[in-house]
């Protein structure tokens, strides 16, 4: 058995309608916002799923409180993280980042889940261990799970993965499994970090409704 190379978070695979990639939505993050996973403070990274909070800002989806998935962070456009107090684009937003002036407001570019197919790593190599077994999961729904990545103590990350042990027809699960990624990085289906293709099943986009769809 050889483990497959891990890749972080959700990665856009393709739009469902055959068009080019849709433009991302720019939105803010509340000053001082701190995401938390497994009782550990984490930052926000490209590839993380986010939801809207009551203030109309983005926060890590399902980190501390239940909220509905909206989209994936594809860029951190502005973050006040320099020691000199200047703001700049970044690939990682440390937890607790603060700002006062609008020019320093933390802003993310988020690509909505809806109408896109996403690639994501699975969280175990027990539920399925062969290509045939992974293909048998297609059409089922499954939840996302955060598997804390603290390999860099200065940049702890939420590390979203697909919890394939939850795969079922249940309508209330987060994502629909749409296929097995054809990436060359799926080298060993008995190893960890197999990459599947998913579609959001339950989120905050009005087009999705609020109840999800039963799996096949």
159 and 101 inside one domain: no
Query: Pick from 92, 112, 132: which residue ends a domain?
Result: 112
CB atoms within 10 A of CB 65: 8
Look at residue 134 and tell me if it is in a domain: yes
Tokens (6 digits) for 202:
């339950």
Give the SS3 label for residue 86. coil
Look at residue 8 and tell me if it is in a domain: no
Would you list the DSSP string of 59-78? EETTSSS---B-EEEEEEEE
Query: Pick from 112, 132, 152: which residue ends a domain?
Result: 112
Tokens (6 digits) for 49:
């799923």
Q: Compute the 3-state secondary structure of the chain and give helix, strand, coil in percent, each to the nearest 5.
A: 5, 40, 55
Q: How far apart are CA 157 and CA 160, in angstroms?
A: 9
Q: What is the pLDDT of residues 156-178, one digit of tens each?
A: 999 999 999 999 999 989 999 99
Q: What is the pLDDT of residues 84-119, one digit of tens each?
A: 878 888 999 999 999 999 898 999 999 999 889 999
Tokens (6 digits) for 196:
């599947």
What residue numbers bound the domain in which 84 lies? 18-112
28 and 71 inside one domain: yes
CB atoms within 10 A of CB 156: 22
Query: Pick from 91, 112, 133: which residue ends a domain?
Result: 112
Does residue 34 register a pLDDT over 90?
yes
What pLDDT was estimated at residue 213?
A: 79
Number of domains in the chain: 2
82 and 99 inside one domain: yes
38 and 120 inside one domain: no
What pLDDT was estimated at residue 195?
A: 98
Look at residue 83 and tell me if it is in a domain: yes
57 and 104 inside one domain: yes
Q: What is the mean pLDDT of the chain?
A: 90
Sorted by sequence, the CB contacts under 8 Å of residue 119 that are 6+ apart come out as 7, 10, 11, 12, 13, 181, 183, 195, 196, 197, 198
Residues written for the chain: 216
Give the SS3 label for residue 14. strand
Asked if residues 178 and 198 have their Cβ atoms less than 8 Å apart, the reply is yes
Look at residue 213 and tell me if it is in a domain: no
What pLDDT was estimated at residue 8?
A: 96
Q: What is the pLDDT of residues 40-95, one digit of tens each?
A: 999 999 999 999 988 899 999 987 665 689 999 999 999 898 878 788 889 999 99
89 and 152 inside one domain: no
108 and 150 inside one domain: no
Across residues 121-148, what is the average pLDDT? 96
106 and 156 inside one domain: no
What pLDDT was estimated at residue 126?
A: 96
Across residues 28-36, what is the average pLDDT? 94
């Amino acid at each position: 058995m050889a483990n497959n190379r891990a890749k972080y978070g959700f990665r856009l695979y393709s739009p469902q309608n055959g068009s080019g990639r849709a433009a991302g939505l720019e939105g803010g993050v509340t000053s001082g916002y701190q995401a938390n996973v497994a009782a550990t403070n984490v930052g926000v990274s490209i590839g993380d799923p986010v939801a809207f909070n009551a203030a109309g800002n983005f926060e890590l989806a399902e980190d501390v409180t239940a909220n509905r998935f909206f989209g994936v962070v594809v860029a951190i456009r502005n973050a006040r993280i320099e020691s000199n107090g200047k703001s700049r684009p970044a690939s990682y937003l440390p937890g607790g980042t603060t700002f006062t002036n609008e020019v320093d407001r933390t802003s993310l570019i988020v690509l909505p889940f809806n109408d896109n197919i996403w690639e994501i790593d699975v969280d175990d190599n027990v539920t399925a261990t062969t290509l045939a077994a992974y293909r048998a999961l297609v059409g089922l729904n499954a939840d996302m799970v955060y598997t804390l990545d603290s390999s860099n103590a200065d940049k702890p990350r939420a590390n979203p993965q697909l919890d394939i042990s939850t795969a079922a027809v249940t309508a209330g699960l987060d994502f629909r499994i749409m296929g097995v990624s054809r990436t060359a990085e799926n080298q060993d289906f008995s190893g960890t970090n197999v990459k599947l293709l998913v579609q959001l099943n339950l989120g905050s986009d009005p087009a999705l409704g609020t109840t999800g769809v039963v799996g096949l």
